Structure 1
Amino acid sequence: MPVASGRSAHPALIALGAVGAAGVAAAVWGIGIERYLFTLREETAPALAPGSAPIRVLHISDAHMAPWQHRKQDWLASLAQLKPDLVVNTGDNLGHRDGLEGIRRSFDPFAGIPGVFVHGSNDVVGPSPRNPLRYFLGPSKKQQEPETLDTEAMDRYFTEELGWTDLDNAAARLTVAGNTVDFFGVNDAHRDWDRLDLLPAAISDLGAPDAGITKLGVTHAPYQRILNGFTSLGADAIFGGHTHGGQVCLPGYGALVANCDIPLKQAKGLSTWSHGARSVPLNVSAGCGHSIYAPVRFACRPEATLLTLTPRA
């Protein structure tokens, strides 16, 4: 009786097919699902002067807003229901020439809540297509012929309509939840627009140093020179963005790139930054958006942070 014969698939082909299927599944998840899984991360950090009332800070970053991104706009607007004492916006709000339309829809509910902001480069110039593999070669380079965005209109909206304070290479003193708080910040360090050298005089202009006044540093790109400079200037906590938390991360490992020189383990979340004899809380937001040319998030959900600052022991 003839015996039926046949050949099973080669193990290498099976493995190749499995890898391909996993890649397709990861792409579907990262492009079609995870980038819409907006998440509120809640943290607590001791950073205020002793005896201060706690301050609930909503930290928003890297919206990279395009006018058609209604799910992101609705989620951002809903965060006003948290009734934060302060909004810290660490830049890269715009992701399209008409992005301010979506920013207005997102932030209108925050009018009247004290806020501060700094610029990222995508508040000034529009995004452009990039090869994502180049991020593994180091921080991205500036575009040769960038599209200029309407930064002045965005700034007028933030300052005149929302009542927020611009901290680009500047300092300011505000009353937040009954506390006097000094803020200082820099423009985008990724583009070398930061002027740390201007901050000592700006801080001095706020008034005589007072141990009872909390000091908060705000930057878009958390380069080490900025974090060290802020710590030396007396910051009690530091806020940064820019990294997107790595955007496409390795599950169980974390960020593979940060697009700046911050240690990868501190590319997102709450950690401690130490310089000289001082250590201060550092919150780096993974951001809630992405470039319209890289619409993906993997093992790194879009986020905002509700960070409650409490008195130091």
Structure 2
Amino acid sequence: MQDIIKKLAALTGTAALSGIAAAAWGYRELTNFQLHEYTLPRLSTTALKRLENGTEFRILHISDLHMIPGQEEKIAFVQALAEFKPDLVVNTGDNLSDLHAVPAVIRALEPLLPLPGLFVFGTNDYWAPRFSNPLKYLTGTKREPSYVDLPWQGMRAAFIEHGWLDANNKRQEFTASGLRLAVAGVDDPHHNLDNYPAIAGAPNPQADLNLALLHSPEPRVLRKFAADGYDLALAGHTHGGQICLPGERAIITNCGIDRARASGLSVFDDMLLHVSNGLGTSKYAPIRLFCPPSATLLRFTAQP
């Protein structure tokens, strides 16, 4: 019996040490920032001629900053993304994870704000995060927002003041780097803030590229965008699974999308879908496993 007890104690100790090591590694991964890149040959010859650089149209997709004051490495990484000279910046929400984080968000985005930009919000722009049982996340249980207000109005005002366009339950049409864009977006569908009837219908057929924006990639909304004929939907929310198996294989998506589409580029009902891994996490869940934080550069080039 004593031998059995000793073996159990040894196994328990090993499991505890493994758990501590995994948690420590997961915490370090919070600053292992990466840039993913995709080349999409989708532009017509006519559209290519209108491009100012004549070769490609670059969209920088950022999401889920979940900013907390003092995250200087994250701020520096986001600022450095301006070096890639995107033609358009798309922000798909959940910028905040603290009541005092708006100045840090603006600092991080400062070099990008003068560029053409679009944004939609997630619920963590409106309401503060709160601690919850991590098992609820792993079992896919939908968590109720805290309903503790964050200062999103000031952040929205700063975005708009610099020229970024609000796409929350809105359609927007404009030209960027010579390319004609038609965009429609919804407010966060994860908590039913979306109002698709306000934007329903096909995009302008005169546009060179049409985009659909939403924070959480809920299939019920993606199906509507695809049916209306959008080329590409951009979303975030999933954190790529956040706690993943090796190879960035998501265990849970925290929304209605399937695990295979929890991050990266895929096809949804004949529409391209890009889901960002995101650049942050809730301050109450500061860990990432096999799922480093990232932004994405999408390069649109000529059709074959």
TM-score by length of 1: 0.89
The one-letter code of the counterpart of 1:22 is S
Residue 106 of structure 1 aligns to a residue in which SS?
A: helix
Residue 96 of structure 1 aligns to a residue in which SS?
A: coil
Residue 220 of structure 2 aligns to a residue in which SS?
A: helix
Write the distance in 2 (CA, Å) between the matches of 1:300 and 1:253: 5
Aligned match for 1:288, one of 265, 268, 279: 279
CA contact (8 A) 2:64 2:281 kept: yes
The answer to whether 1:240 aligns with 2:235 is yes
What value does the CA root-mean-square deviation take over the aligned residues?
A: 2.0
Percent of aligned positions with the same letter in both sequences? 38
Spell out, residue by residue over 1:58-92, the C-alpha distance to the aligned partner (whole angstroms, 9 max, x if none).
10000011111111111111111111111000000
Aligned match for 1:250, one of 245, 248, 266: 245
The corresponding residue for 2:262 is: 267
Residue 226 of structure 1 aligns to a residue in which SS?
A: helix
Alignment of 1:39-50 (within 5 A): 39-50=34-45
1:260–1:50 Cα change, 3 Å? farther
Write the distance in 1 (CA, Å) between the matches of 2:223 and 2:42: 17
CA contact (8 A) 2:119 2:166 kept: yes
The one-letter code of the counterpart of 2:299 is T
Write the distance in 2 (CA, Å) between the matches of 1:191 and 1:256: 21
Residue 244 of structure 2 aligns to a residue in which SS?
A: coil
- Greater shift, 46-55 or 91-100, is seen at 46-55
**Structure 1 residue 309 displacement after superposition:** 2.0
Aligned match for 1:68, one of 67, 70, 82: 70
**Structure 1 residue 47 displacement after superposition:** 3.8
Write the distance in 2 (CA, Å) between the matches of 1:226 and 1:148: 26
The corresponding residue for 2:53 is: none
The answer to whether 1:20 aligns with 2:22 is no
TM-score by length of 2: 0.91
Aligned match for 1:217, one of 212, 219, 222: 212
**Structure 1 residue 14 displacement after superposition:** 4.0
**Structure 1 residue 46 displacement after superposition:** 3.5
The one-letter code of the counterpart of 1:222 is P
Residue 109 of structure 1 aligns to a residue in which SS?
A: coil
Write the distance in 2 (CA, Å) between the matches of 1:11 and 1:312: 63
Write the distance in 2 (CA, Å) between the matches of 1:309 and 1:226: 24
Unaligned regions of 5+ residues in structure 2, if any? 49-55
Write the distance in 1 (CA, Å) between the matches of 2:85 and 2:97: 27
CA contact (8 A) 1:55 1:308 kept: yes
**Structure 1 residue 215 displacement after superposition:** 0.9
Residue 243 of structure 2 aligns to a residue in which SS?
A: coil
CA contact (8 A) 1:49 1:211 kept: no
Residue 52 of structure 1 aligns to a residue in which SS?
A: helix
Question: How many residue pairs end up in the alignment?
Answer: 296
Write the distance in 1 (CA, Å) between the matches of 2:199 and 2:302: 25
The corresponding residue for 1:165 is: 165
The corresponding residue for 1:122 is: 124
Spell out, residue by residue over 1:189-215, the C-alpha distance to the aligned partner (whole angstroms, 9 max, x if none).
0110001111126x67xxxx4255321
Spell out, residue by residue over 1:102-134, the C-alpha distance to the aligned partner (whole angstroms, 9 max, x if none).
011101111321010001001111111111110
Write the distance in 2 (CA, Å) between the matches of 1:17 and 1:150: 45
The one-letter code of the counterpart of 2:191 is R
CA contact (8 A) 2:181 2:207 kept: no
**Structure 1 residue 50 displacement after superposition:** 5.0
CA contact (8 A) 1:49 1:214 kept: no
The one-letter code of the counterpart of 2:24 is V
The one-letter code of the counterpart of 2:183 is F
The corresponding residue for 1:93 is: 95
The one-letter code of the counterpart of 2:125 is D
The corresponding residue for 2:187 is: 187
CA contact (8 A) 2:61 2:295 kept: yes
Write the distance in 1 (CA, Å) between the matches of 2:238 and 2:245: 15
Write the distance in 2 (CA, Å) between the matches of 1:175 and 1:253: 36
The one-letter code of the counterpart of 1:280 is M
Residue 199 of structure 2 aligns to a residue in which SS?
A: helix
Residue 62 of structure 1 aligns to a residue in which SS?
A: coil
The corresponding residue for 1:4 is: none
Spell out, residue by residue over 1:158-192, the C-alpha distance to the aligned partner (whole angstroms, 9 max, x if none).
0102x100000001011122110100000000110
Write the distance in 2 (CA, Å) between the matches of 1:139 and 1:90: 23
The one-letter code of the counterpart of 2:192 is D
**Structure 1 residue 156 displacement after superposition:** 0.7
1:197–1:212 Cα change, 3 Å? closer
